[in-house]
Amino acid sequence: MLNKFNYIDDVKKTVLVVDDEYVNREMLGAILKEYYNIIYAENGEEALRLIRANEKILSCILLDLLMPVMDGFKVLDILNDDVRYRSIPVIVLTSEKQAEVESLRRGAADFITKPYDTPEVIIARVKRIIELSENRLVIQSTERDELTGLFTKSFFYEYANLMDRYHGDREMDAVSVNIDRFHLVNEIHGRDFGNKVLLSLSDAIKEYAHENEGIAARGDADDFYMYLNHQDSYAKLESRINEAMGSLDKSVYIKVRIGIYSCLAESQDMENRFDRSRLAANTLRGKFNQTIAYFDNDLQHKVFYSERLIHDIHEGIARKQFEVFFQPKYDITDDKPHLKAAEALIRWRHPEFGMISPGDYISLFEENGLIQMLDQFVWHEAAAKIRYWRDKYGVTIPVSVNVSRIDIYDPEIENKIDKLVDECGLNPEDLHLEITESAYSDNAEQLIQVVEDFRSKGYLIEMDDFGAGYSSLNMLANLPIDVLKLDMKFIQNIHTDGKALRMVQLIMDIANFLHVPVVAEGVEVEDQYRLLKRMGCQLIQGYYFSKPVPAGEFEEFIAKEQ
């Protein structure tokens, strides 16, 4: 016989038994009454009345599904929609597999199958569910999102997996919904309005998920997820969401992105499926006339390609597939241009994909924490070459290396670069550090601290891609930089477009006023070169002089100078 003291703390907990059949109620009561206070209801309506009256003391509900007046599903729905009752665990009494899944979806915690199991099993189940729910009450904040009442992500995944397990034959879709630039909605219209938007979106999503036998969750901020029956079209979801968003405030346009991954006969794990739907949604950034995107072959291909590159980088470095190229920077202040410096640029000769451009992998490696390894390789190569050329030709050609925004977070970055410069017998001013403009707005404080430390030791900081990000001209006066590299797009049209020319002139004037030399990047033709020279630009980098070339070829530029 079971020892009741294992099961009961101090006071007897209260359990509600809901069943329309007298015999069933009596039987369950007889089994459980030694351990619990039992109250009884004959149908859903009576159950709800008792639940309301005993809300505070009710530990568990045993709920029959098929009952007159109000059935068990209805009760589940009502409980599930109400924050006051949602946390009371419900064990469904059923004889049907199909009904189990359905009730699970509607929030049931467990089942007891009819005809009833042995008393020991029933007692153990009730006990376990009460314990679980008590534990869960403590961590409830992690099951339900506070604002919307939707599942949080981790619970959502659990339930989605359960749905699969009980319903493996259903074709399902993983759907991600998020709001385009939601942070701006918050910033411009206030958090209260932002919350209204989230609530109204979550209502639309909840309803849609429900109608299509699915479940819904909220992740971070404006990320919503649904796992539901496969749909051939999501036009209805789109119009429903648009309607909900449009009804809030006519003057505020809220755009959502819907990403869909259809997991037809799928072996991907749940998180992967939702990663994919989110990836699809993210392709809609900046596409103002499109709301829905599918994870399709193209995207799949991109993901595979990225995964391959991430996988191959280590071997790439070990097998010397990476090579540092150098692009000369010419000083054009005198009559005859002369070689002044160089920029080190990474190149990858991939054994299968051939030469891949950094554009394909720099941001990928930034996202995946791999950029530091690559950058350190480049810094070493660059420093070693400065030394080698100095020994061989008796001149120092300063080389600038790109420093990724991610490198800045490395607390060892200064030590690493100091050590490198020291080992190669260089002076700090021989190695220039290029930091892209947008990094300055990402994490201004930390970046400026690191940059100032570097400058105080004598390193030169070049702000890369100036004009491509969001910093304004008046920021220039306050930023600790030594050289400004004008983004290529400014130079592109100066010889054909008067407005572009005036823009460059303006930047050049301000930079001159601040005594910050300007490097014009992407200079390709003679006309651009002449105009820049006339405007007082000191340094030029671009195909007009040379593409980035291997170190051996770059050496010829040095030799020619002499």
Contacts with Mg ion, residue ranges (CB under 5 A): 402, 434, 464-465, 521
Minimum CB–partner distance for residue 469 and Mg ion (Å): 12
Work out whether 364 is an interface residue with ligand C2E (CB under 6 A).
Answer: no
- 359 versus 411: smaller Cβ distance to Mg ion: 359
- Between helix 191-211 and helix 182-189 the angle, nearest 10°, is 140
480 binds, among ligand C2E, Mg ion, none (CB under 5 to 8 A by kind): none
Minimum CB–partner distance for residue 189 and ligand C2E (Å): 35
- 167 versus 405: smaller Cβ distance to ligand C2E: 405
Options 186, 202, 402, 538; binder of ligand C2E; rule CB under 6 A = 402
- 179 versus 346: smaller Cβ distance to ligand C2E: 346
Q: Are 342 and 328 in contact, with CB atoms under 8 Å apart?
A: yes
Give alpha helix (H) positions in 44-116.
Answer: 44-54, 72-80, 97-105
Minimum CB–partner distance for residue 76 and ligand C2E (Å): 54
C-alpha 124/C-alpha 538 separation (Å) is 82
- Residue 436: name the closest of 386, 486, 393, 504 by CA: 486
- Element housing 217 (H / E): strand 215-218
Give alpha helix (H) positions in 81-152.
Answer: 97-105, 119-138, 140-143
Work out whether 522 is an interface residue with ligand C2E (CB under 6 A).
Answer: yes
Minimum CB–partner distance for residue 395 and ligand C2E (Å): 23
Work out whether 337 is an interface residue with ligand C2E (CB under 6 A).
Answer: no
Q: Are 41 and 17 in contact, with CB atoms under 8 Å apart?
A: yes
Minimum CB–partner distance for residue 538 and Mg ion (Å): 16
C-alpha 414/C-alpha 452 separation (Å) is 11
- Residue 432: name the closest of 389, 368, 482 by CA: 482
404 binds, among ligand C2E, Mg ion, none (CB under 5 to 8 A by kind): ligand C2E
Binders in 302-331 for ligand C2E, by CB under 6 A: 327
Give the torsion through C-alpha atoms of 390, 392, 397, 401, to 10 deg. Answer: -90
Minimum CB–partner distance for residue 414 and ligand C2E (Å): 17
Work out whether 555 is an interface residue with ligand C2E (CB under 6 A).
Answer: no
Binding-site size for ligand C2E (CB under 6 A) equals 23
Neighbour count for residue 228 (Cβ, 10 Å) = 22
Binders in 421-460 for ligand C2E, by CB under 6 A: 434
Q: Are 142 and 156 in contact, with CB atoms under 8 Å apart?
A: no
Amino acid at 366: E
- Among the candidate windows 56-64, 199-207, 274-282, 520-528, which touches ligand C2E by CB under 6 A? 520-528
Amino acid at 428: P
Instruction: Please list, residue by residue across 464-491, b when 16 or more beta carbons sit within 10 angstroms of its beta carbon and e when fewer do.
Output: bbbbebebeeeebeebbbbbbbbbbebb
Options 371, 439, 447, 520; binder of ligand C2E; rule CB under 6 A = 371
Neighbour count for residue 459 (Cβ, 10 Å) = 21
345 binds, among ligand C2E, Mg ion, none (CB under 5 to 8 A by kind): ligand C2E
Work out whether 524 is an interface residue with ligand C2E (CB under 6 A).
Answer: yes
Work out whether 376 is an interface residue with ligand C2E (CB under 6 A).
Answer: no
Q: Are 244 and 194 in contact, with CB atoms under 8 Å apart?
A: no
Minimum CB–partner distance for residue 366 and ligand C2E (Å): 8
Options 222, 375, 381, 462; binder of ligand C2E; rule CB under 6 A = 375
Minimum CB–partner distance for residue 494 and Mg ion (Å): 17
- 20 versus 521: smaller Cβ distance to ligand C2E: 521
- 89 versus 548: smaller Cβ distance to ligand C2E: 548
Residue 404, C-beta contacts closer than 8 angstroms, at least 6 positions apart = 362, 366, 371, 372, 375, 439
| 266 SS3 class | coil
- Among the candidate windows 173-181, 204-212, 334-342, 356-364, which touches ligand C2E by CB under 6 A? 356-364
Options 29, 119, 337, 358; binder of ligand C2E; rule CB under 6 A = 358
Residues in contact with ligand C2E by CB under 6 A are 327, 345-346, 357-359, 362, 371, 375, 378, 402, 404, 434, 464-465, 521-524, 541-543, 548
